[in-house]
A and B are shown apart, each in its own frame.
Chain A
């Protein structure tokens, strides 16, 4: 038996890297042709931007009288007063848009990826795809990239809305850059959770459930776990010798809400405002407890209790963003391994099959 045949492959095969890139582009072109066609993509984008713009405007309506009240009497000079009112409005809009966007991206990014692989299985196009020479890695990366491209488009398209705050003051360009980086990391991290679940589970429905459980776990679960751990740990450490009583802060590294509150806290007074205080209570009061001028919006409220174990502002968001991207890399590699056709893969032995070798789902009409 020789390997030489009359049907030799194309004489010049491009380098593996070029081939991989071409394969990713192949998947992306196909995905974009089906995804971006028709109104669906544009409706989603329009609704997203419309919602953000509406919330921003509503915030303006709600906050501006409050801010004016708060600022009156603080300064005698009209110019100062004006500037201060304006920056309070800007701050409020920035906080709300940031938090709303991190929630929306956490919901939308997995929705775009959770069906990517399982739908190929459900629609029985998977076998056709994996009998091509496309590498499983290229399939996963191409699909993830297309899904994320659309989410990134949404995030970037919303920049002008966040940028409104630059007119009011209260947040600076650097704050918007941080906000964007956290949003992108969130999209990449949670998007890859979706694609991993999609490769792992046979059904899109199951993949979606698993994905959202993971997302809720990362946001709410990690916050509650950390808080619980902290409470228990502090009981053993009454003198406060260790930060957070020794609870591992890495628990928070998968939580984009922690990252976003860290970004938001930078523009807000210590303890947050009436709007953000409940979130700090839920996700960790220490996120906001660093020296800031008094909070005009929160002036009527009792001053927050001093919080120990405070990290400096800007401690959390880069760490969370990087670890989300790290998680994304791990999950993407995992998804690639799951997409390998049965050839030597462990999944082949687990697939329920009929004697004819067709999988059970193949047998369905």
Chain B
């Protein structure tokens, strides 16, 4: 199972705890994990990636194993520690001033 940490507002929207776990068949890429999260929690479709363009929403960031995966190609494999479930993929609401 792949562990995914969600920001506060997406947790309340999907009615889940801080961390969820999803199964990914095949290579564990960012795209595959996000697809699995949206499949499992359909209310989150459009909130992480824009509906039409499928681009990451600008104020969200993807971190794993102390690396920033926000701007890498979506088909980039995630670290082994994420694949094994040792570490989560963190979806972060970026600091936006104020």
Q: Are A and B associated in one complex?
A: no
Q: Which residues of B contact A (CB under 8 A)?
A: none
Q: Which residues of A contact B (CB under 8 A)?
A: none
